[in-house]
Structure 1
Amino acid sequence: GLTNVLGSLVSSYPVTGSFGRTAVNAQSGVCTPAGGLVTGVLVLLSLDYLTSVFCYIPKSALAAVIITAVAPLFDTRVFGTLWRVKRLDLLPLCVTFLFCFWEVQYGILAGTLVSVLILLRSVARPKMQVSEGPVLVLQLASGLQFPAVEALREAIITQALEVSPPRSAVLECSHVCGIDSTVVLGLEELLQDFHRRGVTLALVGLQVPVLRVLLSADLKGVQYFSTLEEAEKSLLQEPGTQPYNVGEDSVPEHKVALLKA
């Protein structure tokens, strides 16, 4: 990288590496950067004294040398490993492999795009554990970011508000370590929907960064509890439990200290 940066100042050719040459060095037992120095000297000597005989070397022979050198770099066992561990990971691997027959850069680009799409799918469709009962409990198994707002909203509305009669819901957020403004807007719309139906949406297990964002957003009507049991008792109107409204005057003292830290 540094060589190419400095070389660009004097209009030199970009410096690159060859997979075939690297494979030959590895199979020859090269262990230090001095191998590159020896290779460079041999290349310079060949260019000076052997270029006249290069034209007699068949291209098939050169191809055989490259294939023989690079073949050990291709580990076929990775397919079996991915099949056993996570089969979805085979998709970017196969896409990259097939597109490389067209152009290497296209293969890398296609594999990267497929990997990004798989990542976005997992973020936009977070896994949720749903517990049925008088109070609907949804426990998020991963973080909550803006691509997941619509999926979360759809799941809660479908299972809590579109049933007859509508029922209160508890969103267990112990695995959520941060939220953004889009998530806050989605929660605000959900709270309004629940309020119009005469039921309650409560939050449980809020971590300090999430609580800090909710305090800054100044959402109206947000209730949260320390434990799931407290939330269920309160929503079922059992005596002895009171929710915390999201306001600094009602936040537990130990969390106030963390919020002000």
Structure 2
Amino acid sequence: MRNILDLPENYGKGAVRQDVTAGITVLVMLIPQSMAYAMLAGLPPVMGLYASIIPLIIYALFGTSRYLAVGPVAMASILVFSGVSQLAEPMSGGYIEMVILLTLMVGGIQLVLGLLNAGALMKFVSKNVIAGFTSAVAIIIGLSQIGNLLGVDVSGQNQAAGLIAELGSRIQETHLMTAGLGAAALLILITGKKIKTRLPVPLLVVTGGIVFVSMLRLDQTGMEIVGEVPAGLPGLELPVFTFSAFQQLLPTALTIAFISMMESLAITKSLAKENEPPIDVNKELRAIGLSNAIGSLFSAYPVTGSFSRSAVNAGAGAVSKLAMLITAAGVVVTILFMTELFYFLPQSILAAIIIASVAGLVNFSSLSEAWKVKREDAWVWLTAFTATLVIGIQWGLLIGVVISLCLLIHRIAHPHIVEVGWNPASKTYRDLERFPGGLVISPFVLLRIDGRIHFSNMQYVENILLEKIPHEDKKVMILDMGGVNDIDTSGIEVIERVFYRMKEKGSDVYFASLKGPVRDSLRHSRMTQLYPEYFTMRSMDQVVQDKKPDIDYMI
């Protein structure tokens, strides 16, 4: 058990107290959030509690992070609603069956990826895609909950324009008491975040809302409340499987599997301490996958790590994953003995909790940073953001990923090749475009290649090098290959063609600063066997000095 829960060697009573404190602290956040997120997913609030038991226990047994607080989150919830609401009526029995099957599929995908050690695939989704996508989804989530906040019935929409239009057309239906209570709750929640109080503000808001509504019987005025919450633990039940439902749910399952894993990995990396071992991405995939797969057998819907609850868990002093078991035990007690207390909980309070939670996910500072550093990355951010708002959540993510991959391929296919000259100030060779005052040393053409040379960029590299071949005879070209870490057979063919083209003109071309792996690849080509002196590990300086020893440009 010590190894499973990642207990430190000196784990004692003091550490147990810290874990109990952290577990209870997370619990008071989790109960209202889980019910609110279940409502966001189009599910009965009690299913948020179901999703906060078995998945937490499974992650505590198999996960790697002692701080990650697994459970329902806003992002996965809106993705569930976005994908399944098109196939069945939210809150209906058929809808719930499809969501539970979706949970099994999400867990299965994550588990298979983890078993195949495919965690590296996560690296191919740009952080700018995720930042733009997350910001847009947060706005959509906020807009989708304004109806519940105001007491207005708004049908399921996954596009910002549709939500705004429908809210505008129904604003006159606002239930004033509901809107007033929801606005007050939202103000308290936001203020609590601003002043960073240690009080469990969401739980206090929920408690206050229940007392207020039950005392004044505001439910009789038309205010929507949660109503009866079934008591008792969920039983073991296999998800209802049909091949048709599997096909329809697969795109949503893939989206949730990848997004939720990226969220969890980002959290675990940000909370990891300096003296802890690095995160095992594939083990995390397997742990989250098992949490979802086994959770689906107990009526859970897709879960992942929560940014806010994980930060609270770490800040409250959690020492081990025992804290998560304490949280799960608290949810069990709540379901068994306290569900009657939630009968008068206003839905506008849950909407306020959701809006306050997702407000921090809108991150325009990441766009500003990307714009300053690299405009291409900023356009990727904007593309993912705009596509998600305008077209829809799943298409927005897909478009963002495709644009990001296209940009990556473009960068790989166009390595940086520049002409360099001697810069007296720094006493190094510098790009002549960036440092136009550099010395062009006759009779040399000096070039630097930054990037790998392989089949995907061979034509581009060849075209650039052939353009740089001097028109005058007897010129010498020197290529600084220090920035080339790898070369394949296609790249070697390019080198050969450029080499022999220079020979035809009666000129020479030298390849300087060759790194070991590149030199190893070139060693077996006929060209290097016939002309080994043209391929060297010596620097460009040394080659220039060797070919023109009387030069005094370095003085």
TM over 0.5: yes
Find 1:114's aligned residue among 393, 396, 403.
403
Structure 2 match to 1:228: 540
The correspondence of residues 41-52 of structure 1 with structure 2, limited to 5 A, is 41=332, 44=335, 49=340
- The separation in 1 between residues aligned to 2:309 and 2:337, in whole angstroms, is 17
CA positional deviation for 1:105: 3.4
8 Å Cα contact 1:137-1:170 kept in structure 2? yes
- The separation in 1 between residues aligned to 2:516 and 2:370, in whole angstroms, is 37
- The separation in 1 between residues aligned to 2:464 and 2:447, in whole angstroms, is 9
CA positional deviation for 1:185: 1.4
Offset from partner CA, 1:223-248 (integer Å, 9 cap, x none): 12423245346667x79xxxxxxxxx
CA positional deviation for 1:129: 2.6
8 Å Cα contact 1:123-1:145 kept in structure 2? no
Offset from partner CA, 1:95-134 (integer Å, 9 cap, x none): 2222333443333333222222222222222222314542
- The separation in 2 between residues aligned to 1:216 and 1:210, in whole angstroms, is 11
Matched, 1:78 2:366: yes
Matched, 1:141 2:450: yes
8 Å Cα contact 1:172-1:228 kept in structure 2? yes
Counterpart secondary structure, 1:206: coil
- The separation in 1 between residues aligned to 2:472 and 2:294, in whole angstroms, is 73
- The separation in 2 between residues aligned to 1:39 and 1:117, in whole angstroms, is 47
The correspondence of residues 33-182 of structure 1 with structure 2, limited to 5 A, is 33-34=324-325, 36-37=327-328, 40-41=331-332, 44=335, 49=340, 62-101=350-389, 102-131=391-420, 132=440, 133-160=442-469, 163-165=471-473, 167-182=475-490
CA positional deviation for 1:75: 2.7
Matched, 1:199 2:485: no
- The separation in 2 between residues aligned to 1:3 and 1:80, in whole angstroms, is 33
For 1:124, the aligned partner's letter is: A
CA positional deviation for 1:61: 5.9
User: What is the TM-score normalised by the length of structure 1?
Assistant: 0.69
Offset from partner CA, 1:25-65 (integer Å, 9 cap, x none): 469x44442575167437845996589878xx55x665443
Structure 2 match to 1:250: none
Root-mean-square deviation (CA, aligned residues, Å) is 3.8
Q: Which moved more, 1:176-185 or 1:127-136?
A: 127-136
- The separation in 2 between residues aligned to 1:181 and 1:33, in whole angstroms, is 53
- Larger relative CO (CA 8 A, sep 6+): 1 or 2? 2
Structure 2 stretches of 5 or more lacking a match?
1-285, 315-322, 421-439, 551-555
For 2:482, the aligned partner's letter is: S
For 2:378, the aligned partner's letter is: L
Structure 2 match to 1:245: none
Change (3 A) 1:73 1:10: closer
CA positional deviation for 1:183: 0.7
CA positional deviation for 1:150: 2.0
- The separation in 2 between residues aligned to 1:82 and 1:17, in whole angstroms, is 30
Structure 2 match to 1:255: none
User: What is the TM-score normalised by the length of structure 2?
Assistant: 0.36
Change (3 A) 1:141 1:180: same
For 2:372, the aligned partner's letter is: R
CA positional deviation for 1:199: 2.1
- The separation in 2 between residues aligned to 1:83 and 1:208, in whole angstroms, is 37
- The separation in 1 between residues aligned to 2:413 and 2:473, in whole angstroms, is 29
Counterpart secondary structure, 1:147: coil
Structure 2 match to 1:209: 517
CA positional deviation for 1:157: 1.0
Change (3 A) 1:97 1:35: farther
Structure 1 stretches of 5 or more lacking a match?
240-261
Change (3 A) 1:208 1:14: farther
Change (3 A) 1:25 1:211: closer
CA positional deviation for 1:149: 2.2
CA positional deviation for 1:176: 1.7
Matched, 1:16 2:281: no
Percent identical among aligned pairs is: 17
CA positional deviation for 1:189: 1.8
For 1:224, the aligned partner's letter is: F
CA positional deviation for 1:148: 3.0
